[in-house]
Amino acid sequence: MDDRVPGTELADRLCRFRNRMDCMHPDWEMAIFFGRINLYYLTGTIQDGMLVVPRDGQEEFWVRRSYRRACMESRFPVIHPMVSFRDARIGMLHVPPSVHIETGVVPLGLWETFRKHFPVQKAGSLDAEVAWVRARKSPYEVALLRRAGEIHRTVLEEDVPALLKEGMSEAAFATAVYARMVSLGHQGLVRFGSFNTEIEVGQVAFGDNSLYPTSFNGPGGCRGMGPAAPVLGDPCRKLKPGDLVFIDNACMVGGYQTDKTMTYVFRGAVPREAEEMHSRCTGIMEEMASMLVPGAVPSRIYSSVIKGQEPGFLDHFMGNAEPPVRFLGHGVGLAVDEPPVIALGFDEPLEEGMAIALEPKYAFLGVGLVGIENTYLVTPHGGESITGENPGLIPIP
């Protein structure tokens, strides 16, 4: 099976990036990419190198390792080998004094090494521009997201009940979910654009471990394996009757990820008030999904939902993290945390084909995090869920 990104896809992405740069930075001269996510998006392969995109002229992909693999995997038109930036400098006829780079990705050490060979005096940021280009998915990308979403739905809505066994640890449950997802086609990685964000399977917790403090910018928590690895699942926390089971994870196909949260109740029941808060969160998700139409403004969706809730509910809405979480959803794709974000400050209208994960959740103290998350496509008729419709709190007898 040929899983290479079509050349027409790569050409369209570069064209839209150039158009966005022309609009937002009319005086831009050259863009240089180093980050692996954007390199994959624009070249179709993840290799150690740099992509040079001049405003006028031929773009060039310079690869340190592996040039041979880049040529095997990529339909990019111009690929050059290099041992160091010196080789690229010799091969490039002109480098302007000002370039745009991924300022949120490129470390200072790499930038200084680059500048040893290139007479660049100033670096502007292209992060927002390429992120917004990536936000609008093509039919090719949507097809990959749909495949990921179907795996996600199958595992979390149909397969998990058979995986949960009394006495198993959070870590054992997490690895069982991971193995099942990979067996169906999940590519095994979870990629984030945010600096220093690490995660393996996702956030997995039994009971109020889902409220455990975490550096992760989200409503859920996870004690994980300990201070050095606060991810995966607590190997000491065992599943017992009456537990709320919480899982928030991603599924990747062709590099594209969906995001989904599902909850279960193991051999018992949660308090009626917790059920009510869960139901309220699913209602909020449905309300937001109906607003995911082209032209809708993310910040207005956020404001509309928040203004419709009373202060007492908001005290524990979207978790109990400090500082509080101030978003209700986020774009997904090659990274789990892409724009647009359903939050204040995101005022650019939605476009058809964007993929957004909606995740209204509520911290019920002493029980755990209730609520739900599904990934939606923006359509003229509202958001279309591609990760399932189950409302959650699935009973496990």
> Does residue 198 surpass a pLDDT of 90?
no
Q: Which residues 6+ apart lie within 8 Å of 95 measured at CB? A: 30, 89, 118, 119, 120
Q: 20: which 2 tokens?
A: 């966005």
Retrieve residue 364's tokens.
């019920």
CATH code, 223: 3.90.230.10
Chosen domain end from 133, 155, 177: 133
Give the CA dihedral 55, 58, 64, 68, nearest 10 degrees. 150
CB 147 within 8 A of CB 253: yes
The tens digit of pLDDT for each residue in 357-369 reads 999 999 999 999 9
Residues 141, 44: one domain? no
- Residue ranges making up the domain that contains 48: 7-133
Query: What does the pLDDT look like over 43-62, one tens digit per residue?
Result: 999 999 999 999 999 999 99
Q: By percentage, how much of the chain surpasses pLDDT 70?
A: 100
| Percent helix, percent strand, percent coil in the chain, to nearest 5 | 35, 20, 45
The per-residue pLDDT of the chain, averaged, comes to 95
Higher pLDDT, 214 or 317: 317
Last-in-domain residue among 113, 133, 153: 133
Peptide bond before residue 84 is cis, with ω within 30 degrees of 0: no
Structural domains counted in the chain: 2
Which whole-number Å values give the CA distances from 196 to 6, 104, 169, 199, in the listed order?
A: 31, 11, 27, 10
CB–CB of 121/98 below 8 Å?
yes
Is residue 375 a part of any domain in this protein? yes
Last residue of one domain, picked from the residues 133, 161, 191? 133
Look up the CATH number of the domain holding residue 22: 3.40.350.10
Least Cα distance to 395 among 244, 240, 239, 265 occurs for 265
Based on the fold, state whether residues 103 and 223 are members of the same structural domain: no
Reply yes or no on whether the pLDDT at 163 is more than 90: yes
Inform me whether the pLDDT recorded for 322 exceeds 90.
Answer: no
Q: Which tokens hold the place of 187?
A: 């590519």
Query: Is pTM, for the whole model, over 0.75?
Result: yes
125 pLDDT tier (thresholds 50, 70, 90): very high
Q: Determine, yes or no, domain membership for 265.
A: yes
pLDDT band at 24 (very low <50, low <70, confident <90, very high): very high
User: Does one domain contain both 76 and 169?
Assistant: no
Q: What is the mean pLDDT of residues 8-25?
A: 98
- Of the CA atoms within 13 Å of residue 390, those in its CB half-sphere come to 20
